[in-house]
């Protein structure tokens, strides 16, 4: 099985279109407010005129992320600045213990090498935060390795001396428009005008066409 998830986009509309990509927010224990970032954005010319295809690739490796921020998240603005990430495992109900927990530091900002911790929910990883006072604020959550760079995909605002348990979801979306990677977006609003690319069924490649009439066409591949 490939270690990459791939979305190939073809633009059949007559004019050049801008596309951006984002992920379905993870599930966070305790029901805190969850925020989403744009992951990647690029323009794409008409396929017939240019022969161009836009490819978006995400590594299947899961990452825990922490990010320092000046303020609480604001839609349309960068979610933060200095960040750290760690490749991490997900907790499993059965089988050998996994390295599913990382401990954050804020002076300097960082995440420890993951280790096993009891009580992490199945399919989740945990970020343990230290004592701190805000501002600055800290965002913690699920990061992804997208097209060669790690971006905080979705997150919650961290509380001091707390555990944030995060269950990532392998569902991505492609939409028309421009949205700078790393900027906070309204997931619910964006998802209504987007094409879902669902990798939870074991697919590793999904081809997406934006038809000349504005409809989306999709083909799943293993």
Residue 184 has pLDDT above 70, yes or no: yes
Q: Structural domain tally of the chain?
A: 1
**Any idea what DSSP says for residue 92?**
-
Question: Are the beta carbons of 111 and 127 closer than 8 angstroms?
Answer: yes
Q: What is the pLDDT of residues 64-111, one digit of tens each?
A: 999 999 999 999 999 999 999 999 999 998 889 999 999 999 999 999
The tokens describing 205, both together, are 């490649």
Burial of 202 (0-12, 13-18, 19+ CB in 10 A): exposed
Q: Contact 10/53 with Cβ under 8 angstroms?
A: yes
φ, ψ for residue 48 (rounded to 5)? -65, -35
Q: What domain range is 131 assigned to?
A: 4-221
Report yes or no on whether pTM surpasses 0.75: yes
């Amino acid at each position: 099985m490939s270690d990459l998830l791939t979305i190939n986009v073809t633009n059949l509309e007559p004019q050049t279109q801008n596309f951006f990509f984002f992920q379905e927010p993870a599930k966070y224990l305790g029901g805190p407010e969850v925020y989403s970032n744009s992951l990647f954005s690029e323009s794409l010319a008409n396929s017939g005129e240019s022969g161009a295809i836009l490819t978006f690739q995400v590594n299947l490796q899961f990452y825990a992320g922490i990010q320092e921020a000046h303020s609480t998240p604001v839609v349309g603005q960068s979610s933060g600045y200095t960040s750290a990430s760690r490749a991490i495992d997900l907790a499993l109900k059965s089988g050998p213990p996994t390295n599913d927990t990382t401990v954050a530091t804020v002076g300097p900002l960082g995440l420890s090498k993951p280790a096993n911790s009891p009580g992490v929910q199945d399919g989740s990883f945990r970020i343990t935060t230290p004592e701190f006072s805000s501002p600055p604020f800290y965002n913690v959550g699920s990061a992804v390795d997208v097209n060669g760079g790690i971006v905080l995909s979705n997150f919650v605002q961290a509380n001091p001396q707390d555990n944030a348990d995060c269950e990532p979801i392998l569902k991505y979306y492609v939409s028309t428009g421009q949205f700078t990677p790393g900027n906070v977006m309204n997931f619910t609003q964006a998802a209504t005008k987007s094409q879902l690319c669902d990798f939870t069924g074991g697919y590793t490649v999904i081809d997406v066409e934006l038809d000349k009439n504005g409809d989306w066409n999709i083909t799943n591949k293993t």
